[in-house]
Amino acid sequence: MWIINGTDVINRQRDFTDGNGQRQRGVILVQWSKEALAEIGVKPFREIAYDGKWYNSTGFSDEEVDGEIVRTHTTEARYTLEEAKEERIKEINAAAYILLQTTDYYVIRKSDVGTDIPQDIIDERAQVRTDITTNEDAINELDDYSDVIDYVITWTNEEA
């Protein structure tokens, strides 16, 4: 990516108007040296990513580092601590749904025609439910936003 006159970000090779008001062909972005591009107000550009699922950008600052413009965002939490916990618990439940769905056939078959559910399936489903509770309890015990979003959801049968 490149930035023109510190304002216009170009994220792909395309024609543009340079800092001197001259129309330029996009091919120069890869053919010209960094120094030649800087003379017409064009510099390499890199943006430090932030997790948009958990944070909102409240602004940004650009800093030149070795001839490259590096943009860093200031952020704030997107959710309250309690809302973040609720979001993580939704993730747990969504994963558990998928895990349980793979064995729902046995439960439906038992309900429809009375065929017994194999004990290993009963045990597996019970373990998923235990893991749900364990993960939810662990998340609800956390009191720091970053700990909530960094929490690693674990499953006894690592198939999630």
Per the structure, the complete domain to which residue 33 belongs is given by 2-77
139 and 93 in a common domain? yes
Q: Where are the beta strands (DSSP E) in the chain?
A: 2-4, 8-10, 16-17, 23-24, 42-47, 55-65, 68-77
Q: Are 156 and 127 spatial neighbours (Cβ–Cβ below 8 Å)?
A: yes
Residue 148, pLDDT score = 98
CB 110 within 8 A of CB 90: no
C-alpha triplet 5, 9, 14: angle, nearest 5° = 105
C-alpha dihedral sign at 71, 76, 82, 87: negative
- The neighbour count for residue 131, using CB atoms within 10 Å, is 20
Q: 102 CB contacts (<8 Å, ≥6 apart)?
A: none
pLDDT at residue 19 in the model? 83
Whether 71 and 98 map to the same domain: the answer is no
In a domain, 155, yes or no: no
Which of 77, 102, 123 is the C-terminal boundary of a domain? 77
> Quick one: 8 and 63 in the same domain?
yes
Summarised one tens digit per residue, pLDDT across range 1-36 is: 999 988 899 999 999 998 888 999 999 999 999 999
Q: pLDDT digits over 116-143, tens only?
A: 999 999 999 999 999 999 999 999 999 9
- Separation of alpha carbons 67 and 18, rounded Å: 17
Query: What pLDDT is attached to residue 20?
Result: 86
Q: What tokens were used for 96?
A: 């558990």
**How confident is the model over 55-104, as pLDDT tens digits?**
999 999 999 999 999 999 999 999 999 999 999 999 999 999 999 999 99
pLDDT score, position 160: 44
Q: On the CB side of 70, how many CA atoms lie within 13 Å of its CA?
A: 8
Q: Would you state the pLDDT for residue 54?
A: 97
Residue 157 lies in a domain: no
- Same domain membership, residue 60 and residue 101: no
